[in-house]
């Protein structure tokens, strides 16, 4: 997807995720990372990153309806 479809909430979450992953990878011990993405009201998603601390971001999201599956799908068997 194009970056123009996302706002600074998305970029901040992605930057934090990259920072945490790099720190975990360089760490000599065990690390646990969890990412949840929840749909909020139309056009928004909440990104929750759990890595010892919890980081929450809200990102605006433009739904690209051109990627939606066609309603005219037929299942043919031979």
Dump pLDDT digits (tens) for 37-78: 999 988 899 999 999 999 999 998 876 666 555 544 444 554
Token pair of 58, please? Answer: 């809200």
User: Between 70 and 1, whose confidence is greater?
Assistant: 70
Please state the domain extents for the chain: 3-62
Q: Cα separations (Å) of 20 from 7, 32, 46, 53? A: 20, 10, 18, 11
Residue labelled with tokens 């068997």: 77
With 0-12 CB in 10 A as exposed, 13-18 as middle and 19+ as buried, what is 17?
Answer: middle
pLDDT of residue 39: 92
List the alpha helices (DSSP H) in the chain: 8-26
Give the model's pLDDT for residue 43. Answer: 85
The per-residue pLDDT for 6 is 57
pLDDT tens track for 18-40: 999 999 999 999 999 999 999 99
For residue 37, the Cα-to-chain-centroid distance in whole angstroms is 6
């Amino acid at each position: 997807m194009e970056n123009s479809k996302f706002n600074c909430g998305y970029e901040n979450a992605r930057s934090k995720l990259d920072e945490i992953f790099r720190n975990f990878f360089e760490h000599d011990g065990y690390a646990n990372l969890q990412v949840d993405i929840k749909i909020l009201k139309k056009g928004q998603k909440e990104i929750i990153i759990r890595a010892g601390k919890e980081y929450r971001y809200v990102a605006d999201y433009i739904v690209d309806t051109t990627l939606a599956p066609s309603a005219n799908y037929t299942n043919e068997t031979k």
